Amino acid sequence: MAELGDLVGRTADRLAEQQVGAVVVGLADGAAEIRGAGRAGGAVSGPPGPDTLFEIGSITKVFTALLLARTVLAGDAALEEPLAGLLPGCTVPGRGGRRITLQHLATHTSGLPRLPKGMLLPALFNPRAADPYAGCTADRLLDGLARTKLRSVPGRTFRYSNLGAGLLGLALARRAGTDYEQLVRREVCLPLGLADTVVTPGADGAGRLAGGHTANRRPTAPWHLADLAGAGGLRSTGNDLAAFLRAQLGGAPTDTAEAIVLTRQVEHRTSPFSWTHLGWSAHRLHPQQGGHLQVWHNGRTGGFASYAGFDPETGTAVAVLGNTGRSVDAAGAGLLRTLQEAAAGRARDGQ
């Protein structure tokens, strides 16, 4: 697709007018283009590039869901297994005679609240609350869980929950006898060749960290999610997200490919046109918009915003990384739709 680079570059340039800096990834016809624009800030002088590290926030959840699928296929857990089975000695709430399962956590149908007990949503993006999740240790999370009341019967209603996704990562790590970062590194990142998708960058990565900025473009401190890392603690690069999305389109090694299939076999309907998989959200555009499938997730921390989306039917995918706490969803979804329409047009023309 000759114009892929131009489309990706123009998107990055437009985003740099809203963000301090941005990196945009586009995949189509088996090719990938990555462009950066604006200013990276932090440890990086000049514009961000394909190997600049950004906080990816809640896109972490799709890595955690893929980790769950890998664990299930290895026979070390089951989607229907109760969370309590992975957290022995801990009190896990239930409702209506139903217990929270691992599948409920990955599809946001557990009934758990969005945030751990004691955290308030407005505090997350208050500039004075620079690192709001830093105190979310396992002890505090599990103590709060024991005192948490479910908002709905598990399995019944979609209620987005950072707490649920974080508990899933914590529980899988405990089952494996390690921590979340080591487990996701071993089971997801290494098989896919993701060298820079980490919770804590090493010495090399530290020199490639973009600086975060508030919505009004002021520098802000990085976020650390402690033992809630499975909900949003990863950092990644344009290069790594291109490889991750390529895997979603069919380019993964066999074991991981089977796990990717499992993540999308599970569906919980949220409307006639939208649903959630393990980790991912999905919807089909209105026929007047092309009727294309978009599987996606976004992310946001105090100083960063991100989007990743793909369409296995047209073989197209997009990722956007911004170093400002302002949504990049519209730019990401818009570029994905443009790539989808171009791919569909080529298919109609027999190209």
Instruction: State the average pLDDT for the chain.
Output: 95
CA distances from 174 to 51, 75, 165 (A): 31, 16, 14
**Domains observed in the chain:** 4-348 (3.40.710.10)
Indicate if the alpha-carbon torsion angle 167, 172, 177, 183 is positive or negative: negative
Separation of alpha carbons 56 and 34, rounded Å:
16
- What's the length of the chain? 351
Gyration radius of the chain's alpha carbons = 19
Encode pLDDT of 46-93 as tens digits: 999 999 999 999 999 999 999 999 999 999 999 999 999 999 999 999
Confidence of residue 12 (pLDDT cuts 50, 70, 90): very high
Separation of alpha carbons 127 and 123, rounded Å:
9
Separation of alpha carbons 90 and 87, rounded Å:
6
Q: Do 237 and 51 touch, CB atoms closer than 8 A?
A: yes
- Rounded to two decimals, the pTM is 0.96
Type of residue found at 299: G
pLDDT at 128 over 90: no
Encode pLDDT of 297-332 as tens digits: 999 999 999 999 999 999 999 999 999 999 999 999
